[in-house]
Structure 1
Amino acid sequence: MSEIAVLHGQGASGGALVDMNSSMGAGEMAVRLADMEAKLELVQNFFKRVMRKDEDYGIIPGTDKPSLLKPGAEKLCELYGFAPIIKEKEETRDLKTGYYHVRITIQLIHRATGTIIAEGVGEASSYESKYRYRWVYESDLPKGIDKDSLVCKTFESRKTGKDYKKYRLENPDLIDQWNTVLKMGKKRALVDATLTATRTSGIFTQSEDEMDAWIEGETDEKEKFDKKRSTPQATDEKASFEPPPGDANKISQSQYGKIMGDAKRKGLDEDGIKSIILYVKKKPVNELSKAEASAVIKFIADTDEEGLQDLIMQAALPGAAS
């Protein structure tokens, strides 16, 4: 069996394997190793200096690992000198039902040489739930429709405390979504090709903390542990948070951090979730009780992004927080 060595620092991210019994001379192998390490450091610096969290990569709601986003894929292609071209587009259309399915194959071409570096495939369909359905208030339901036959979600009114429902309806204008679906297929194909061409797919299979450590070039477990202790995490206290003094029943620092972290993963910023809490609870977040904070945490977990965005819009209405 050949003796195999793994390039230090790349084991968790699809790192290159070096066959020590190959015909390559030791000097040539040393040069290649130094080149690979230099490239690894360059990519790490690129993530630190150019790639923006939650813009180029980030946690998609419902997942627990970072994902490469379209802007990030475009930046990586620019770094490596790759140009994307569409190799193949397969489409299925049905004008009666509004069904549209597309499968895109994208090739990444090295600009300087014209060499095909990688291919990526992306598919999208108008029957995906975010295109096929829309959520409406009960008052907006078509006349004569059987509400009991519809999927619905229940929310609590901020002003009255009463429950209200939103119902899921078939989108009657699926054809209007076709262009959006096509763009989604292209985006997925580009990300797929970029992960393959840049050998960064392994980076995005790690946890968020592991990815942060990789970007920082940390390989020692103690170094990672020390960083975790010194850097606020999603469930840690926000630097700007000061709970009311002397009241053990008030929201804790860890509860505050979890609210902010969970809201961020649902696409909200700090001001957004604060406006929702003020609208619903009629008090700022730092005045919540522990029980109220626990209820907010559960509410964020049970509410989808669309529902949270609806609440922000309601909270922004004149007199909503009064």
Structure 2
Amino acid sequence: MRLKFTMTSALATAASLMLSHAALAQAAQTFDEVVAKAKEEGALFIAISSPGVPEGHQALIKAFNERFGLNLRIEWTPTNPVQTGTRLIAEAGAAGSVDIVGNGGPQEVMVLKDRDIVKPYPWAEVFGKELNGFDEIANRPMEDLRGYVLPIVDVAYGISWNPNLIADEEVPSSWAELFDPKWKGKFSVNSLALNPLDYYTFAVGKDATLEMAEKTLDNEPVLERGTAAATRAVAIGQVPVGLSAFHIAQRTEGVKFKLFDDYVALNHTFIYVPETAPNPNAARLFAAWLVSEGMSVVEEFEKLPRAADVGSPLAKMVEDAKAKGAKILEEDSLANSSAAAETRAEISDMLTNR
């Protein structure tokens, strides 16, 4: 029995290695092969939440098809990446329905990576010489996710305020200032685990972050479904200030925005191609083009800031914050992401039990 088990294991290992080599060989396509196969596929199904302007979607589709001489039928649904991830997990083992997913952060990607729904691809090798600036962009993600994802938006969190309700100098410069009784019921925050409070785990630890969550809730914030909704609450005058993000505040009329002086939560979000993508070549070609050359098309309709884009408004804002002593809180490893996810889960339980 032991001999049989050993031989079976050896055969399974050999088969696994052969499959791995075959997969790598299949993945290591040339740029011209990707374009040719994309043309054969003829379609593309995108589930990316940002860019989110419909006019921008149409402009991107037109520019993409013209750039590569294609006539793909492209459907774009700006779906929340958590919902899309749940859908992909449910579809595991069956025919896929989504080609490109976004804009998930490391915690969202980690769930799919652990299930082999998202696997590595030689992005830089295939597209680096063909797309302007792509090689550097493809290597920006943390080492644990390099090859799995491409960077699309950096969500830099801070505080927004309504200048018709509060003077600039009265706006809190840290999350901790919101614990003051004078702010009771006068600020808005994302009801999803008080996002981005879980990032404070990287600076002060889980226990202190959970204490911050308790103090936040004790001061009776206006809880909104999402950071965009929390920002809208400020814009319409429901509250004078609210937790917000740079790119969301830019899109929202009637608010001003700044980063906190002590800590800046910076969430790197990505787009990625699942293994079940029905049109994998069209998906990879579009994804690589979007995060490089396609960003100039996006900029005509909305801002998708990335802190590593030299000279960009967000890059300057983050550098200024660092120069003043602010600590940047970001997920730079999957171990780091796991710690934040654990804190987030406990904050969610705290909200449920109140």
Shorter-chain TM band: under 0.3
Of Structure 1 and Structure 2, the greater helix share is in 2
Of Structure 1 and Structure 2, the greater strand share is in 1
Structure with bigger gyration radius: 1
TM-score (structure 2 length as normaliser)? 0.22
TM-score (structure 1 length as normaliser)? 0.24
Q: Highest relative contact order (Cα 8 Å, sep 6+), 1 or 2?
A: 2
